[in-house]
Structure 1
Amino acid sequence: MPALTDAELTVLGLLVEQPRHGYELERVIEERGIRAWTALGFSSIYYVLDKLAKRGLIEAAGGPRSGKSRATFRATRSGVDLCAEATREALTALTPVHARVLIGMANSPGLPDAEVRSGLTARLAALREQLAEVEATRASQEPLPDAAAAIFDYSEAMLTADLTWTKSVLDKETAMEKYDVKKAHRALYSPPSKDFTVVDVPALQYLAADGHGDPNTATDYTNAVEALYGIAYAVKFASKNTLGRDFVVGPLEGLWRADDPAAFLTREKGKWDWTMMIHQPDWVTEEMVREASESVAKKKDNPALAGVRLRTLTEGTSVQILHLGSYDDETPTLNRLHHEYLPEHGLTFNGDHHEIYLSDPRRTAPDKLKTVLRQPVKPL
């Protein structure tokens, strides 16, 4: 005979105790706090009764009827036997936990911290309310038979444990300071847009991938950027889940070079060499990057994954400015830098041209794009 569902076993057990009609089943379910651990609404009681009757596990007990809700049912012999068998199994069964909140926590690194905290705070309030309801229901039924008291004990223990767990996670989320390179190094990522400024750039580490050619048409460029973001997010999730240290994935950055620097001013993109990068906190290790790369490779075949590495870049004294507008409109600003600012200040190049893309070109109009243009320099 097919196994009983939790709802079926609950209703059958109540009818094994004594014959009952639908309204009485509803009352007992409410009084005993059964609804705290089963999804038995008033309307579903009759659905369950109908299923049990069709299986020959219960039958009408006779007596006066005034509509379906007053029909009294009792367990048949086979119903009593199956209830006993299912009860013995239920007492020893270890039921896997399938709490939806666990899926939420698994996916939480993809949400802003504020949203995660808000969700956990709402969950905490709901659990407290539910526990208060169970405690009030119990108090109204005292004294309780031992079996009923044990059920309330279990419900309260589970809710209390969930409360403790939720509060612990919320406390950790609140205490965890999320590293954001744009805030930690604000001067490097928020220069003015009118005047060049001189900054001292410390040694910073990045995920990096090298390539050559026009970024608008080169497949290698597209693959490299996808690989960088895939690994960056995999490292972020691993860092949060295993180290308890979270960080904001930084903006895409690029080092650009050419045999003739004039290729940047003339926008001959096919002559450009590039190293695309995403900043990583100093606690990220090569081992973490390797494991993240392997994880991403299992999900998507991208030849650029093998070329992504963790590197440290030390630029030192640099001149930078915020460019507003299309990438192809950078030429006037670069002309000013190369032919006016640097000569006037007795400076020359001391490293690759560095760009930091603060805007997402997929969601931002070209004339609204924000790009930090940086050039490491040294005295002539």
Structure 2
Amino acid sequence: MSVKLVILGLLMEGEKHPYEIQQIVNERHMKHYIKLAAGSLYYAFEQLEKQGYVEVVDVVRDSNRPDKTIYRITEKGKQHFEQLLLEQLQKHEHIHRSIYAGLSFAAYADEEKVSAVLKQRLHETKQQLEKLKLIFEQKRENEYVTKLYVLKGVIMHLETEVEWLQQLINIANNKKLKEKGGGLWQ
């Protein structure tokens, strides 16, 4: 997801400074589906301001802390936000996951070691799944349906991953990582 879309979307909710945007991403657990580095966030704000999509409304000065620049979205920014949103909804992305690269060569590794790593990943995935289910239930009554569906989509993907990992662990435990053919699908 575009950093600019995240910024403009959160500014649609009201004026904010970059650090506040970063905090909201963390508080809303958006990190599960959005990669947002602090450096790229500040750079994106600069670019958005140069392009006229956001404007500075205040600079809060505190002698003990760095200045906080507060931004708001402009009318031009609202139009750009909608354009970015619609483009994002239309994107078809390739599925790039590090586990796929590793599994491509798992037949050449020790099956017990592969199984152990997959078990650890399964445990972590189940923990993440339970955490997101809890967040979903907490937000269920007071959140926009679209935001709930983002969480629901992530939950559904994780549920599928849990099942998939369990199957992989069974294959590794049964010493079948080196087998060829589609017999495993029957």
| Shorter-normalised TM range | 0.7 to 0.9
2:15 to 19, 41, 59: 19
> Is the CA contact (8 Å cut-off) linking 1:131 and 1:156 kept in structure 2?
yes
2:126 to 125, 128, 147: 128
Match of 1:166 in 2: 165
**Matches of 2:106 and 2:161, distance apart in 1:** 18
Match of 1:70 in 2: 68
**Matches of 2:164 and 2:83, distance apart in 1:** 34
Match of 2:181 in 1: 242
Match of 1:269 in 2: none
Match of 1:93 in 2: 91
**Matches of 1:241 and 1:18, distance apart in 2:** 56
Specify the SS of the correspondent of 1:71.
Answer: strand
CA deviation after TM superposition for structure 1 residue 106, in Å: 0.5
Match of 1:36 in 2: 32
Match of 2:154 in 1: 155
Match of 1:295 in 2: none
Instruction: Specify the code of the residue in structure 2 equivalent to 1:170.
Output: I
TM-score (norm 1): 0.43
| Alpha-carbon distance change, 177 to 156 in structure 1, aligned in 2, over 3 angstroms | closer
Which stretches in structure 1 are left out of the alignment for 5+ residues?
Answer: 179-236, 246-380
Structure with the greater alpha carbon radius of gyration: 1
Greater fraction helix: 2
TM-score (norm 2): 0.81
**Matches of 2:182 and 2:103, distance apart in 1:** 16
Specify the SS of the correspondent of 1:70.
Answer: strand
Which string of whole-angstrom CA distances, capped at 9 and with x for unpartnered residues, describes residues 93-114 of structure 1? 2221111111111011111111
> Is the CA contact (8 Å cut-off) linking 1:31 and 1:141 kept in structure 2?
no
**Matches of 1:31 and 1:141, distance apart in 2:** 12
Which string of whole-angstrom CA distances, capped at 9 and with x for unpartnered residues, describes residues 270-313 of structure 1? xxxxxxxxxxxxxxxxxxxxxxxxxxxxxxxxxxxxxxxxxxxx
> Is the CA contact (8 Å cut-off) linking 2:112 and 2:172 kept in structure 1?
no
Aligned residues: 181
Instruction: Specify the code of the residue in structure 1 equivalent to 2:173.
Output: T
| Alpha-carbon distance change, 79 to 168 in structure 1, aligned in 2, over 3 angstroms | same
- For residues 204-353 of structure 1, the aligned pairs below 5 Å read 240-243=179-182
CA deviation after TM superposition for structure 1 residue 159, in Å: 1.5
**Matches of 1:17 and 1:48, distance apart in 2:** 18
Which string of whole-angstrom CA distances, capped at 9 and with x for unpartnered residues, describes residues 74-93 of structure 1? 12233222211121122232
Instruction: Specify the code of the residue in structure 2 equivalent to 1:155.
Output: V
2:45 to 43, 49, 70: 49
| Alpha-carbon distance change, 49 to 68 in structure 1, aligned in 2, over 3 angstroms | farther
Q: Name the Cα RMSD after superposition.
A: 2.6
Which string of whole-angstrom CA distances, capped at 9 and with x for unpartnered residues, describes residues 172-206 of structure 1? 2222457xxxxxxxxxxxxxxxxxxxxxxxxxxxx
> Is the CA contact (8 Å cut-off) linking 1:15 and 1:74 kept in structure 2?
yes
1:10 to 2, 6, 11: 6
Instruction: Specify the code of the residue in structure 1 equivalent to 2:107.
Output: P
**Matches of 2:66 and 2:50, distance apart in 1:** 16
Match of 1:262 in 2: none
CA deviation after TM superposition for structure 1 residue 58, in Å: 1.7
Structure 1 runs (4+) deviating above 6 angstroms are none
1:59 to 55, 61, 70: 55
| Alpha-carbon distance change, 150 to 65 in structure 1, aligned in 2, over 3 angstroms | farther
Give the fraction of aligned pairs with identical amino acids, expressed as a percent. Answer: 20
Which string of whole-angstrom CA distances, capped at 9 and with x for unpartnered residues, describes residues 319-346 of structure 1? xxxxxxxxxxxxxxxxxxxxxxxxxxxx
Instruction: Specify the code of the residue in structure 2 equivalent to 1:60.
Output: V
**Matches of 1:68 and 1:75, distance apart in 2:** 23
CA deviation after TM superposition for structure 1 residue 115, in Å: 1.7
CA deviation after TM superposition for structure 1 residue 7, in Å: 2.2
Which stretches in structure 2 are left out of the alignment for 5+ residues?
Answer: none
Match of 1:230 in 2: none
CA deviation after TM superposition for structure 1 residue 136, in Å: 3.2
